[in-house]
Amino acid sequence: MVLCLNVILFLTLHLLPGMKSSMVNLINNGYDGIVIAINPSVPEDEKLIENIKEMVTEASTYLFHATKRRVYFRNVSILIPMTWKSKSEYFIPKQESYDQADVIVANPYLKYGDDPYTLQYGRCGEKGKYIHFTPNFLLTNNFHIYGSRGRVFVHEWAHLRWGIFDEYNVDQPFYISRKNTIEATRCSTHITGINVVFKKCPGGSCITSLCRRDSQTGLYEAKCTFLPKKSQTAKESIMFMPSLHSVTEFCTEKTHNTEAPNLQNKMCNGKSTWDVIMNSVDFQNTSPMTEMNPPTHPTFSLLKSKQRVVCLVLDKSGSMSAEDRLFQMNQAAELYLIQVIEKGSLVGMVTFDSVAEIQNHLTRITDDNVYQKITAKLPQVANGGTSICRGLKAGFQAIIHSDQSTSGSEIILLTDGEDNEINSCFEDVKRSGAIIHTIALGPSAAKELETLSNMTGGYRFFANKDITGLTNAFSRISSRSGSITQQAIQLESKALKITGRKRVNGTVPVDSTVGNDTFFVVTWTIQKPEIVLQDPKGKKYKTSDFKEDKLNIRSARLQIPGIAETGTWTYSLLNNHASSQMLTVTVTTRARSPTIPPVIATAHMSQHTAHYPSPMIVYAQVSQGFLPVLGISVIAIIETEDGHQVTLELWDNGAGADTVKNDGIYSRYFTDYRGNGRYSLKVHAEARNNTARLSLRQPQNKALYIPGYIENGKIILNPPRPEVKDDLAKAEIEDFSRLTSGGSFTVSGAPPGNHPSVLPPNKIIDLEAKFKEDHIQLSWTAPGNVLDKGKANSYIIRISKSFLDLQKDFDNATLVNTSSLKPKEAGSDENFEFKPEPFRIENGTNFYIAVQAINEANLTSEVSNIAQAIKFIPMPEDSVPALGTKISAINLAIFALAMILSIV
Give the C-alpha distances (Å, rounded to integers) separating 427 from 393, 433, 451, 738: 12, 11, 12, 38
- Which spans in 67-184 are helix H? 135-139, 143-146, 149-162
Query: 770: burial class by Cβ within 10 Å (0-12, 13-18, 19+)?
Result: middle
Using CA atoms, how far apart are residues 169 and 702, in angstroms rounded to an integer?
11
CA 453/CA 426 separation, integer angstroms: 11
How would you classify the pairing of strands 867-870 and 846-854?
Answer: antiparallel
Helix (H) or strand (E) holding 378: none
**633-639 vs 693-694, strand pairing mode:** unpaired
Distance CA(129)–CA(459), nearest Å, equals 16
Beta strands 530-534; 540-542: pairing state = antiparallel
- According to the 3-state scheme, what is the secondary structure of 450-503? HHHHHHHCCCEEEECCCHHHHHHHHHHCCCCCCCCCCCCEEEEEEEEEECCCCE
- 875-884 LR contacts (CB < 8 Å, sep 24+): 875/213, 875/215, 877/212, 877/213, 877/215, 878/212, 880/209, 880/210, 880/212, 881/209, 882/199, 882/207, 882/208, 882/209, 883/196, 883/207, 883/208, 883/209, 883/210, 884/205, 884/207
Query: Which stretches within 525-639 are classed as H helix?
Result: none
Beta strands in 524-674, from DSSP E residues, in sequence order: 530-534, 540-542, 547-548, 555-559, 567-574, 581-591, 599-605, 609-611, 616-624, 627-630, 633-639, 645-649, 665-670
435: three-class secondary structure by DSSP: strand
Question: In the structure, how many helices (H) and strands (E) does the chain have?
Answer: 16, 50
Pair 350, 395: CB distance under 8 Å? yes
Answer whether 70's CB lies under 8 Å from 283's CB: yes
Query: If DSSP codes are grouped into helix, strand and coil, which group holds residue 699?
Result: coil
> Is 58 designated active site?
no
| Cβ contact 367:373 at 8 Å | no
Helices (H), 223-289: 263-267, 273-278, 281-284
Q: Which helix (H) or strand (E) holds 884?
A: strand 882-884
Nearest Cα to 44, choosing from 3, 84, 13, 1? 84
Report residue 719: phi and psi, to 5°: -55, 145
* Cα torsion 140, 146, 148, 152: sign: negative
Instruction: With beta carbons less than 8 A apart as the criterion, state whether 52 and 141 touch.
Output: no
- How many Cβ atoms sit within 10 Å of the Cβ of residue 202? 7
From the CB of residue 707, how many other CB atoms can be counted at a distance below 10 Å? 17
Instruction: Give alpha helix (H) positions in 33-89.
Output: 46-66
Say how far apart CA 736 and CA 492 lie, in whole Å: 10
Give the C-alpha separation, 712 to 417, whole Å: 74
Strands 514-523 and 581-591, how do they pair? antiparallel
Task: Find the catalytic residue in 156, 183, 450, 639.
Answer: 156
CA angle (137, 726, 767) in 5-degree steps: 100
Handedness of CA 893, 894, 900, 904 (dihedral sign): positive
Q: How far from 440 is each of 185, 413, 453, 746, CA to CA, in Å?
A: 50, 9, 11, 12
DSSP string, 811-851: GGSEEP--TT----BTTSEEEEEE--TTS---TT-EEEEEE
Active-site residues, by number, are: 156
